[in-house]
């Protein structure tokens, strides 16, 4: 890829994985004027985007043949491997010089391995996991943490700017995923703190709005406290970000920590609690449903 | 006490405990025009405030005889009990109708017991622990969480407004302490999350300012991340709020939780980590020194 990709270019973007996140992200690219080819193994997920002008490919390989840049937004590491290197995978169709941008949250170690395999084919890879959930995807305000060669990042920046607001270049390939996992341990720990504060206030019979207002006004404040405690108080457990995905990310985190070595007690604790939430069948709730481990 | 206490009233306020917090709090009351009598068992701590016009009492009892309202700001539950009910204690000198405002952070259970003993003498009590550390005390911007009878709270409000910014009436006596402990579990857990994120980013060789900026820009943000991580990056472990006091508060928290019953894993974890920090001799560092458990 020699030049910047601009809206209106033909035969440029492919988007694999038209789910809760991928659909609005691809829709924003279409609305910005990009020519986008899409693929999802569940065909009907592509229908809405076709109305916005997307071309539907019959496989990841066909999609890659029609694209200079292939974006993947799928559920996990195994699925990224399959859409890239499985039967009729994207790698088969990518020409030398093409770029793969994986926006899924997957293993940083596997990311580096996938990048090496693509490099052997003359292709580039960026890892670009996101934060901000489905709402951020719809409004084009995702946080995007990007790893890979800086010049490739800069050429792809206009694409990221369509989908996100805070776009951070984090260094070499894999660093996007690592930054995302750092983000996840901090966020999950903050949410545990907020939930535990609420549970304690309830158990003690304190007035909840008064207590939460006092806690929010000082050094104990956090985004999680401000945004998710009000949902819990309304008994709104709809997923902005689901327990299933939180658990998946924390599993990636603890696997990564195991490979790094060292003692990370908050990561261990939040992973064990979200594992418990999964066993209790809470996987479809939003991550604020953590409290339902104790208050089912 | 029948009327509101105003600046310029004579023979009104007593302040026991002229330490890192008490000195600037009493200084703000003096500057606001209150007539303040002070006592500390370490005599020389009173010298600076005498220059601002404070009267030095020779015991808590003498101080109480000269005061309609007695404020205590001392280190722990045992010390509050001693200055109130020990030899030459304040309770001996308080007249019927006097008010005791305890601004120390101590056991909520003991607070209620002390209030009952004072009530038997015809005296009122408010518990009013603070957040915001020495900086908040100096600038008069403390968070103050007040429990006790509402009419007594309202009469004392002008005094609180001199020392604090966010003043929350939390309900009956003891609720101030309970609210403070809820605040402490949330804050300590957030700090653990922030520290663990930083440790992980360092271990992974990520660029630290870039990573922290990305984390701060989204759902993982917290006051602790924004305010204490920059201190850690400068290797500034001076106490705004010390590990010794954080540990003391978390001990009060876990004792209280034990009396309530229930599973509060974040509280258990942060208490065990601050106990470890104490054993490692980190007690004089600020609470951001938590990271030195792993990076000594």
Residues B30, B80, single domain; the answer is: yes
Say what percent of chain B tops pLDDT 70: 96
Catalytically active residues of A are 180
Q: B85 and chain A: CB distance < 8 Å anywhere?
A: no
Cβ(B252)–Cβ(B293) below 8 Å: no
Confidence of residue B103 (pLDDT cuts 50, 70, 90): very high
Cβ(A147)–Cβ(A171) below 8 Å: yes
Q: Nearest C-alpha of chain A: how many angstroms from B235? A: 20
Q: Which residue of A has its CA nearest to B254?
A: A200
The Cβ-side half-sphere exposure at A27, using a 13 Å CA radius, reads 20
Residues A156, A192, single domain; the answer is: no
Classified as helix, coil or strand, A170 is strand
- Residue B2 inside a domain? The answer is no
Position B2 pLDDT exceeds 70: no
Residues A117, A263, single domain; the answer is: no
Residues B159, B16, single domain; the answer is: yes
Cβ(B144)–Cβ(B10) below 8 Å: no
Residues B95, B183, single domain; the answer is: no
Q: Pick the more confident residue, B12 or B180.
A: B180
Residues A120, A264, single domain; the answer is: no
Residues B262, B156, single domain; the answer is: no
Among the three residues A172, A206, A225, which one is the final residue of a domain in this structure?
A: A172
The CATH number of whichever domain residue A21 belongs to comes to 3.40.50.720
Alpha-carbon span B225 to B202, nearest angstrom: 15
- Residue B268 inside a domain? The answer is yes
Tokens linked to B262? 């229930």
Q: Which residue of A has its CA nearest to B266?
A: A193
The CATH number of whichever domain residue B283 belongs to comes to 1.10.1040.10
Contact B186 A215 (CB under 8 A): yes
Residues B150, B195, single domain; the answer is: no
Cβ(A143)–Cβ(A168) below 8 Å: yes
Alpha-carbon span B277 to A292, nearest angstrom: 32
Which positions ≥6 away from A256 have C-beta within 8 Å?
A: A107, A108, A109, A178, A181
Residues B19, B152, single domain; the answer is: yes
Neighboring chain A residues of B197 at a CB cutoff of 8 Å: 182-183, 185-186
Residues A218, A282, single domain; the answer is: yes
Cβ(A6)–Cβ(A34) below 8 Å: no
Residues B197, B87, single domain; the answer is: no
Which positions ≥6 away from A245 have C-beta within 8 Å?
A: A105
ipTM above 0.95, yes or no: no
Which positions ≥6 away from A184 have C-beta within 8 Å?
A: A246, A249, A250, A253, B220
The domain of B186 spans 179-293
Q: Which residue of A has its CA nearest to B108?
A: A204
Confidence of residue B134 (pLDDT cuts 50, 70, 90): confident
Q: B227 and chain A: CB distance < 8 Å anywhere?
A: yes
Q: List beta partners, residue B167.
A: B144
Q: List beta partners, residue B74.
A: none
Which positions ≥6 away from B205 have C-beta within 8 Å?
A: none
Closest CA to A83 of A109, A114, A113, A55: A114
Position B269 pLDDT exceeds 90: yes
At A153-176, the pLDDT tens digits run 999 999 999 999 999 999 999 999
Q: Nearest C-alpha of chain B: how many angstroms from A36? A: 28
Q: Give pLDDT, residue B5.
A: 63
Residues A15, A75, single domain; the answer is: yes
Contact B215 A183 (CB under 8 A): yes
Report the number of distinct structural domains present in chain A: 2
Q: Give pLDDT, residue B3.
A: 57
Least CB–CB distance from A223: residue in B143, B197, B222: B222
């Amino acid at each position: 890829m020699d030049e910047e990709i601009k809206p209106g270019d033909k035969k440029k973007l492919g988007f694999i994985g038209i789910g809760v996140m991928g659909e609005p992200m691809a829709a924003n690219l279409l609305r910005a004027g990009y020519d986008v080819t899409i693929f999802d193994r569940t065909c009907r997920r592509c229908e809405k985007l076709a109305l916005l002008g997307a071309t539907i490919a019959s496989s990841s390989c066909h999609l890659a043949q029609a694209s200079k840049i292939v974006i993947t937004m799928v559920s996990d590491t195994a699925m990224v491997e399959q859409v890239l290197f499985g039967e009729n995978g994207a790698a088969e169709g990518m020409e030398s010089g093409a770029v793969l941008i994986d926006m899924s949250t997957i293993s940083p170690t596997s990311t580096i391995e996938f990048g090496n395999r693509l490099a052997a084919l003359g292709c580039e890879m960026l890892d670009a996991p996101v934060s901000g959930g489905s709402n951020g995807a719809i409004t084009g305000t995702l946080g995007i943490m990007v790893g890979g060669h800086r010049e490739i990042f800069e050429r792809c920046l206009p694409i990221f700017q369509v989908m996100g607001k805070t776009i951070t270049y984090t260094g070499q390939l894999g660093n996007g995923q690592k930054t995302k996992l750092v983000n996840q341990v901090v966020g999950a720990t903050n949410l545990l703190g907020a939930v535990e504060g609420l549970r304690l206030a309830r158990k003690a019979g304190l007035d909840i709005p008064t207590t939460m207002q006092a806690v929010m006004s000082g050094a104990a404040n956090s985004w999680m406290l401000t945004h998710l405690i009000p949902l819990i108080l309304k008994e709104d457990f709809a997923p902005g970000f689901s327990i299933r995905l939180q658990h998946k990310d924390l599993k990636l985190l603890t696997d990564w920590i195991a490979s790094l070595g060292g003692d990370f007690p908050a990561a261990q604790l939040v992973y064990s609690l979200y594992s418990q939430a999964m066993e209790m069948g809470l996987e479809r709730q939003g991550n604020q449903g953590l409290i339902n481990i104790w208050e089912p």
